[in-house]
Structure formats: C-alpha cells, structure tokens
Amino acid sequence: MNRLCYFLFALLAVFTTCSAQVQLPQGMQALNLTVDGVPRSGFIYTPPTAKETPTSVVFVWHGHGGNAMQIGRSIPMYKLWPEAISIYLQGLNTPGQLTDPEGKRPGWQHSAGAQEDRDLKLFDAVLAHLKDHYKIDPKRIFSTGHSNGGGFTYLLWQTRPDVLCAVAPSAATSVRLKDTPFKPKPCMHIAGTQDPLVKYAWQELAMAKVKQINQCAPEGTPWAKDSTLFPSKVGAPFIAFIHQGTHKFPEEAPALIAKFFKEQAASAN
C-alpha cells in the first residue's frame, strides 16, 4: 500500500511539472543558477531580438509563501511588455516579518545583510547572466513585486540604486525609508485601503517618505483609474495607485505597472 501511494504521488508530481512546462508561454524558459553553492531557479521570458537589440529588463518578485509560476500568472509582463525581458525567480524558505516566523515558506530577505544577502546576490548573479547571454539595456532595468516581493523591491532600491531605472512595489513598506538614505527613483506604489496584513497606515507613511525622497509636488494629478501622479523636481515621479481592496493583488495593477515602466523607459537617458 505504501509503495502504491508513493508511486501515485510521484506520478502526480511528474504530471504537475509537465503541465506547468506546457503552460509556459512562448519565449519563456527555466532559469537555473548556483549562487554561493546554493541552487536557485526561476523562469525567464526573452523577446526574439534580445540578443541583438538593447532590451529592457523587468524583475518580478513573488510574495511570502508564493512562487515564481504564480507571480508569473499574476503579473504577465511578457504579455504586457513583450519587448522586454521578464524575470520570475523562486524564493527560498525564510522567516516572515508578519507571518511564518519559523520560515517554513519561501520568500525574500528583508534587510541588507539578512540571510547572508543570498537574494541580493541572486539579483546580481541573474544580471551577470543576462549580460553574458543577451544585449540588455543597463539604463532600463526595473523591479516590481507584491507584499514580501514589494519589500524586496524597496531593498533593491536601497542597495542597488544605480542599477534600477524605476520600481513598483505593491502591498509593501520599508522601515529603511525612515532613516536610510535613498537616491531619488521613479516609483509607483500600489496599496489597498483595507489591507489587513500590511496596514494601509503603514503604507501611507512609506508613500509620504517616497514623495519626500523624490522631491515631489504636494499635489498630484490623475494618471489612471485610482492612480495619482506626483511630479518630481529631480525627474523621479511618484504614482500612488490606491484601491479599495485588501492585501490581494488587484487585477488592474499589472497593466498599470507596465504603462509606468514603459513611460520611464522612454524618458531614461
């Protein structure tokens, strides 16, 4: 009986893996690297011209407990911006700040130096891999992510400010915004007013700090539905996308993130 159960579970695992591979969109492939002796994985979408033409790059980070395939379905940048390279990486088990204190589920490091900087090193390794295999545009590298992935996007802004062109964290905040110098950077923040996990009040404080860092005008103008654009004196505009939902990633957000990144790509020099 035990052997039969083992066989059935093994068969299910193979079927699930094969099904996931079948569902990969055209132009997307598995990405496997070893960083500090640890195997890391994910998926990468590359447009047909990525080896000959300078190409924008978008990193998309899943939330705590999520996975690369899941965030790929939630934020299909390969559909919304098919001219860009899209990267979906898989986190390792890590303690959460708001949930999962024992670290039984996958996520990303919360601060510089945590987990021996394994995820910052992963970001650097993937960029090096892209430079070796594709013709990427170093002035047009972007990062977005939801929840823990949004927090990691803020961490990348803090630690890799000269690498990123613009960022778009969702349902996230960063305690580092309060007392750590940040270089002005175009930013779009997505927040739900009814978020029970990352409280909207916390996100309001983060957005206020971003506007201060980016030297934005106190009053904004409509940019899209539920979105307000705050112009910047230093070329680092801020967009607040405030929806009335909870912690769940809103369905309309991916298209707006793509719109924002394309605008910043067009103005980058």
Q: What is the pLDDT of residue 24?
A: 67
Which percentage of the chain shows pLDDT scores above 70? 91
Inter-axis angle of helices 148-159 and 118-133, nearest 10: 70
What is the pLDDT averaged over residues 49-59? Answer: 97
Q: CA-CA distance, 127 to 121, in Å (whole number)?
A: 10
Q: What is the pLDDT of residue 164?
A: 98
Residue 19 has pLDDT above 70, yes or no: no
Residue 169 half-sphere exposure toward CB, CA atoms < 13 A: 24
In 3-state terms, what secondary structure has residue 14? helix
Q: CA-CA distance, 215 to 211, in Å (whole number)?
A: 6
Residue 165 in contact with residue 268, Cβ under 8 Å?
A: yes
Residue 106 has pLDDT above 90, yes or no: yes
Q: What is the pLDDT of residue 103?
A: 83
Q: What is the pLDDT of residue 42?
A: 97
Q: Does domain 26-267 have CATH number 3.40.50.300?
A: no
List all residues 6 or more positions away from 39 whose beta carbon is below 8 Å from its beta carbon. Answer: 32, 33
Q: Closest by alpha carbon to 143, among 99, 87, 203, 83?
A: 87
Q: What is the pLDDT of residue 257?
A: 98
Which percentage of the chain shows pLDDT scores above 90? 82
Segments making up each domain of the chain, as ranges: 26-267
Q: Residue 79: what are its φ and ψ, rounded to 5°?
A: -90, -40
* pLDDT tens by residue, 209-266: 999 999 999 999 999 999 999 999 999 999 999 999 999 999 999 999 999 999 999 9
